[in-house]
């Protein structure tokens, strides 16, 4: 049986794409040049059976789904503008459409833009698809890297790992901050202004929405360049994730690599622009960390150790790991 990704790759080679397309089919979003403007197009979908923690509400589900789509737009250096949503529910969940739409509206009010179309349906699961048309001042940032580029992450991560591990053990996270993050992750759209000002110094960007390990591997896959992470994982992890790693006896590197649905970009920047971009990110309230660099080798390493392939399995709705 073919994997889901194999079907996607098959159709990516067949479908007709716009002659002025700007991003590869596997990127976080699609984009075209329209006249003198750059336009980004994003679609993202979720089912509650795979993407709603039991401590979260249907209202949270709507909010979080918009955040996920917005995060991919932001990672390309663009701003969301027009939204459309398609909501499906089970026959006995029709009243939940109201809750989902309230969450969607709250997110759109936060991130800016307009909801121009809504579709509803009934089926065997509850789900949502979010569509965004966004505006870009400059050419959207691709998934790309060059040897000696530095790799930055705009803030500390790891709350998502706590949420997932606790859920997998049949528990609710003890920390309210973790529960809130899992239900209503907020995308820092101030990053876009930094990406605009520093566009010439940015080689690539990829959203950390599946796992950090997968994002690093995908950076390698698109260019063939290696990745070397040198930073102490304890400096990358949120303080609660550091404590959880220690108390649960979980390798801190694994704790960081398994971070998923963080909805923040991993930035690949020109070495000569590193200090400027770090300072710009700090000025908009972020805590950027230089975590590694791009190499001419073919390996993805953390301090000399091969990075395990910790990926999100869409079929089972679980995180899997293998060397």
Predicted local confidence at residue 321, as pLDDT: 57
Q: How confident is the model at residue 13 (pLDDT cuts 50, 70, 90)?
A: confident
Q: How far apart are CA 71 and CA 286, in angstroms?
A: 15
293 φ/ψ angles, rounded to the nearest 5 degrees: -150, 165
Q: How confident is the model at residue 3 (pLDDT cuts 50, 70, 90)?
A: confident
- Quote the percentage of the chain above a pLDDT of 70: 95
Dihedral sign (CA 305, 263, 79, 81): positive
Dihedral sign (CA 93, 96, 101, 103): negative
pLDDT at 311 over 70: no
Which of left, alpha, beta for 257 (phi over 0: left; psi -120 to 50: alpha)? alpha
Q: How far apart are CA 133 and CA 33, in angstroms?
A: 13
Predicted local confidence at residue 79, as pLDDT: 98
pLDDT at 21 over 90: yes
- 248-260 in b/e burial notation, b at 16+ Cβ within 10 A? eebebbbbbbbbb
Segment 79-100 shows an average pLDDT of: 97
Q: Is 310 within 8 Å of 318 (Cβ atoms)?
A: no
According to DSSP, the residues that pair with 132 across neighbouring strands are: 42, 83
Q: Is 167 within 8 Å of 69 (Cβ atoms)?
A: no
Helix (H) or strand (E) holding 23: none
CATH 3.50.50.60 fits 4-136, yes or no: no
Structure confidence by residue, pLDDT tens digits, 184-234: 999 999 999 999 999 999 999 999 988 999 999 999 999 999 999 999 999
What are the structural domain ranges in the chain?
A: 4-136, 150-322
In the block, tokens 């390996």 appear at 299
Structure tokens belonging to residue 15:
């479908």
Between these two residues, 263 and 12, which has the higher pLDDT value? 263
Segment 165-179 shows an average pLDDT of: 97
Assign domain 150-322 to its CATH superfamily.
PurM-like C-terminal domain (3.90.650.10)
Q: Is 221 within 8 Å of 103 (Cβ atoms)?
A: no
pTM as predicted: 0.94
Segment 127-156 shows an average pLDDT of: 98
pLDDT at 1 over 50: no
Predicted local confidence at residue 221, as pLDDT: 92
Residue of 288, 315, 291 lying closest to 302 (CA atoms): 291
Task: Choose the weakest-confidence range: 121-135, 168-182, 259-273, 300-314.
Answer: 300-314
**Counting Cβ atoms within 10 Å, is residue 103 exposed (0-12), middle (13-18) or buried (19+)?**
buried
In the block, tokens 């290696």 appear at 226
Q: How far apart are CA 84 and CA 39, in angstroms?
A: 16
Q: What is the CA radius of gyration of the chain?
A: 19
**Counting Cβ atoms within 10 Å, is residue 167 exposed (0-12), middle (13-18) or buried (19+)?**
middle
Predicted local confidence at residue 323, as pLDDT: 45
Q: Is 47 within 8 Å of 59 (Cβ atoms)?
A: no
Q: Is 158 within 8 Å of 256 (Cβ atoms)?
A: yes
């Amino acid at each position: 049986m073919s994997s889901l990704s194999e079907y996607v790759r098959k159709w990516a080679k067949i479908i007709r794409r716009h002659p002025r397309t700007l991003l590869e089919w596997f990127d976080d979003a699609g984009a075209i040049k329209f006249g003198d403007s750059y336009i980004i197009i994003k679609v993202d979908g979720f089912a509650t059976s795979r993407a709603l923690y039991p401590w979260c509400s249907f209202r949270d589900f709507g909010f979080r789904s918009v955040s996920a789509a917005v995060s991919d737009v932001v990672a390309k250096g663009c701003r969301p503008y027009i939204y459309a949503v398609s909501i499906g529910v089970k026959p006995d969940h029709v009243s939940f459409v109201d809750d989902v739409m309230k969450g969607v509206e709250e997110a759109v009010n936060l991130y800016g833009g307009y909801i121009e179309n809504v579709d509803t349906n009934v089926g065997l699961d509850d789900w949502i698809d979010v569509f965004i048309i966004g505006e870009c001042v400059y050419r959207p940032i691709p998934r790309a890297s060059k040897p000696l580029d530095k790799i930055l992450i705009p803030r500390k991560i790891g709350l998502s790992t706590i949420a997932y591990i606790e859920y997998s053990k049949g528990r609710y996270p003890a920390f309210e901050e973790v529960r809130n993050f899992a239900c209503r992750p907020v995308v820092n759209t101030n990053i876009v202004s930094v990406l605009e000002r520093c566009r010439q110094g940015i080689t690539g960007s990829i959203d950390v929405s599946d796992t950090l390990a997968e994002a690093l591997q995908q950076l390698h896959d698109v260019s063939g360049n290696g990745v070397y992470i040198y930073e102490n994982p304890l400096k990358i992890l949120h303080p609660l994730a550091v404590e959880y790693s220690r108390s649960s006896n979980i390798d801190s590197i694994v704790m960081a690599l398994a971070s998923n649905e963080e909805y923040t970009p991993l930035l690949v920047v020109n070495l000569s622009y590193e200090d400027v971009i770090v300072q710009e990110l700090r000025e908009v309230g972020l805590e950027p960390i230089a975590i590694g660099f791009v190499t001419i080798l073919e390996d993805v390493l953390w301090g000399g150790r091969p990075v395990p392939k910790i990926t999100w399995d869409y079929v089972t709705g679980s995180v899997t790991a293998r060397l």
